[in-house]
Amino acid sequence: MRQCLIAVLLVVAAPSPQPATEPIVRIGLTQNAATVTIRSESAFSVEHRSTRAATFTTVLALDPAATGPLKKADLQYRVSVDVDGETILVLPAGAHIRIEPSGAPLEIETRAYRGAIEVSGNTRRTLTVVNELPLEEYLRGVVPNELSPTTFGQIEALKAQAVAARTYIERNLGQFRDEGYDICASDACQVYFGVRTEDPLSTQAAAETRGIVATYDGKPINALYSSTCGGRTEDAENIFREKIPYLVSTSCEYKHPAPLPFSTSRSIADWKTGVLAVARVTTFADAARFMGLPDRGEPASTTDLAALAGFVRQTFYPSVVTASDLSFLNDQGILPVTGPAAASDVLFRLVDRKGAFEWQQGVLTSSDGTKMRLLVNGQPKEFTLAPDALIYQRIGDERLPMTAGSWIGGELIDFRAESGTIGMLVYRINFANPAADRYSRLAIWQIHKTAAELDAAFKPLAIGDFTDMRIVQRGPSERAVETEVVGSRSRRTVPALRLRTLLGLRDSLFSYDIERNARGTVLGMTFYGRGWGHGVGMCQVGAYGMALDGATYEEILKKYYKGIELKKLY
């Protein structure tokens, strides 16, 4: 009883810094529509007329006050409203027409919205459409679009996302006040697609965190998040040039995953010999058969490069017409410019061509040592690992033969499978090892750019033809913070976001190989990357991984936003 009394006194005595009510938010659905049709399953009212559909258009109309001969100034942009095919109103461009819901959501094209819709003409002579509704109802249409409850269906991760989204809107309320709303509905703000995208799980996540925001120094934080950090998040200042105390690099790690052991009965030290063994190629005739080409026997010589070039070109590139077979094969990287050509090297290069050996690539999701599940082009596929499969671990350009070891999931694997059985694989050690975001198909990626694509990408830098690249500074997450790009005319140092945009990369977290022909000319570049997004703040797939391993939403938020406090506003 006494305790109750003290509690009551404290509540009365404490001044309330925030009104303890849920805010109403105004979301800008569009600000550039030429025409907008609003429908609903239940009748609604437009300027006292009941209807189930109303179409708004901007029109050039005559000023009703105009007198005398028609002048240009007498024509004004106005908003016309059609109800049931009949124009009922022509309003001044600045007028706001407000439609209250009447039971069923209001629909615009394929989307439907809770709350009221306001349409008004703007100074650009187009229509601005605003959806006004309570904040928590808005969040129901945001959370599932920012983190998919179908793909990442873990309630604690969705709750963390709900708090991040609520914090974002609390902090940015009124950002677009001049346009007549609080915040936009696209990924420039946070994605809001309305009631049809709601999902019971993300709705539950919003309800269970009602009113809760993340704060630092008592104020809502800038709750940045990105899809997949690739193992470690980055300091805000390295990407956005602004130091923010709670947006600092953290390892995307929660619990160590269980190892997935593997073993094999066969090992061939040199992986190139391994490729030829799996392809059953020891002679040029074998190689031709392997590629489905006519068997033309063996070359007369492998020491006379010109003669060897003639044989290889005619056998393996029968339809290519070239002035110099040797020059052509130099360009293809099949034969060296000078010096002896070992037959096995030439055979390997012929067979290893992606089309011939049929390498596939996937991300390991699970393995019991025999059955392996891999995400191939984003689709889960099951394979059997042959008991005598050749297994190599790739470190830089080295490929180490392995007879036993273990994976943890998330490894990027190049493999060759016949009828669902893997006979050879090369895996990159998952050095983002126990990262909570290793489940993302985006955690590891690889992209190739041709020399022409590189020149086009770097054109805005005006450096001439691309010749080289060097990473000057990496952040704590290994993101390329400053990169020097070298061209035939000049060189430029480029910050992370700019480089990412120029090259169209998913993330700034990458290493690369520059491919050159025997003469040193750049043929292309391969980027080996991790992550998707800017890498600052909460890692969304990491949040999912943490939730899978038992973390609460508060643990998730406090992991990615350093030193924050959760606060219930209403």
Return d(Cα 158, Cα 225) in angstroms, integer.
Answer: 13
- The nearer residue to Zn ion, 252 or 457, going by C-beta atoms, is 252
Could you say which DSSP state residue 23 is in?
P
The count of residues in the chain is 570
Which lies closer to Zn ion via its Cβ, residue 149 or residue 533? 533
Q: Which is nearer to Zn ion, 126 or 250 (CB)?
A: 250
| Closer Cβ to Zn ion, 148 or 327, answer by number | 148
Q: How far is the CB of 230 from Zn ion (least distance, A)?
A: 6
Contact footprint for Zn ion (CB under 5 A): 229, 252, 437, 539, 542
Q: In one letter, which amino acid is 89?
A: L
What does the alpha-carbon distance between residue 527 and residue 521 come to, in Å, rounded to a whole number? 18
Within 10 Å of residue 439's Cβ, how many Cβ atoms?
22
Give the Cα separation of 268 and 278 in Å (integer): 10
Per-state percent for the chain, helix, strand, coil, to nearest 5: 25, 35, 40
Toward Zn ion, which CB reaches closer, 107 or 437? 437
The answer to whether 193 and 145 have CB atoms below 8 angstroms apart is yes
| In the complex, least distance from residue 531 CB atom to Zn ion, rounded to whole angstroms | 7
CB of 535 to Zn ion, least distance (A): 8
Min CB(102)–Zn ion separation in Å: 45
Token look-up 């011939």 returns 356
Quote the least distance from Cβ 533 to Zn ion, whole Å. Answer: 9
Query: Are 349 and 279 a contacting pair, CB within 8 Å?
Result: no
Backbone angles phi, psi at 236, to 5 degrees: -55, -40
Nearest distance, CB of residue 171 and Zn ion, angstroms: 23
Instruction: Please state the closest distance from residue 43 (CB atom) to Zn ion, in A.
Output: 49
For the bound state, the minimum distance from the C-beta of residue 222 to Zn ion, rounded and expressed in Å, comes to 18
Contacts of 498 (CB under 8 A, 6+ apart): none
**Residue 51 or 227: which CB sits closer to Zn ion?**
227
As a whole number of angstroms, the distance between CA 148 and CA 225 comes to: 14
Taking Cα atoms as reference points, which of 490, 481, 438 lies closest to residue 461?
Answer: 490
Q: Which is nearer to Zn ion, 252 or 276 (CB)?
A: 252
Based on CB atoms, which residue is closest to Zn ion, 252 or 485?
Answer: 252
CA distances, 114 to each of 100, 167, 194 (Å)? 10, 21, 7
